[in-house]
Amino acid sequence: MTPGWLIVLAAALLPWSTKLPLVTSDPGRAYVTTPLVLWLAILLGGVALWIGQRDRWLGAFAGWWVLEFLLHPALRQFETVEAIVLGSAALCWVREVDQAWHPQLKALLIWSAGLQVGWFWMQSLGVDWTWAGWGPFTEAPRPHGTFGNAKYLAASLAMVLPLAGMAGSCWLLSGLLGTASTLGLGAGLIGWISHRRTRGRWSLGLVAVTPLLFLLHHGGWPAILASGQTRWEYWSVGLRELHPHEWVIGAGPGMWMEHAAQLPIGRVPALEGFPIWMHSDVLQVCYEGGLVAVLIAGAWLWTHRAMWRGPWRGSAAAVGLLSLAFMPFHLITTGVVALVVLGCATTKEET
């Protein structure tokens, strides 16, 4: 079945959908809103079907969220599902980039990240001409490049670090140290170590983790413990709030953002207020999409397990580690980098 058939069926069946109490029980509103919601679901379902013809489990993942939208037909839910489905399509598009261009693609990511580090250190000197002219840097409490948050910059640098050579790695590592993000630094260094295939890579790894130990020793432990405790409280309390059936099918796309402020935990400075994201993409998939979404994602990872041995394995490892305790896929600036990494890592030529 091709996506075009969905459109043909929609033309025949949508006029009959106005009697369904899908969105509202008001007949006057149902004549407009019910066909609209179903039409949006059909369009996203068509994209998911197109994805499934190229990657079975990725298409199933996108299709599951389309079904979730039908169970929760609201604006925030549509925005979430739209981002997931189109992001899955974007991953397929990245795979269509000829492998011969991968070296240039890596260079583009490395140079962009390197310029971000330069911007970061310029801000550290108190200068940023974008918002305040050539005046002092005052737009945020800490330097962050152009990401708006030092942790976001650290996540992006961590995904690119394994791709860089020795000189580039040192420069990106300086930026990671400057952000003081232990998670970003740890993910970047583990990715960098796993990228090396030399016989002595583990002895090289011991040298690589020295900056991480240095960061932990100089005031890092209290912040790490506070952040970790806060994450654990939000994760455990949030998951306990799920009803039994929601463990299977999830609470619904985008529902964490609506539930977070209602959790029985006050405002916590370690996460700068109520987290509108769960600070774990893996757990947020579980919370919003249930174990069904987690199992589909696991099946996708299994079918593409060769990426952990391919030329992009270090960056893929960094993406995986960040997804456990951060939300790289919920931020466009980091999510697109992650999609490029996974798209290139799962091409047939690379694996």
- pLDDT tens digit string along 98-115? 999 999 999 999 999 999
Q: Which of 238, 241, 252 is nearest to 64 (CA)?
A: 252
Integer angstrom CA distances of residue 99 from 10, 28, 309: 38, 54, 16
136 three-state secondary structure:
strand
Structure tokens at 204: 């090289």
Q: Judge whether 333 and 209 are in contact, CB under 8 Å.
A: no
Rounded Cα gap, residues 188 and 172, in angstroms:
10
The CA distance from 103 to 238, in Å, is 43
| pLDDT over 70 percentage in the chain | 86
- What is the distance, to the nearest Å, from the Cα of residue 72 to the centroid of all Cα atoms in its chain? 22
Average pLDDT, integer, range 311-334: 95
Which tens digits make up the pLDDT trace of 33-66? 899 999 999 999 999 999 999 999 999 999 999 9
Interval 267-291 mean pLDDT: 78
Question: What pLDDT score was predicted for residue 330?
Answer: 94
pTM: 0.88
Instruction: Read off the pLDDT band of 269 (50, 70, 90).
Output: very low
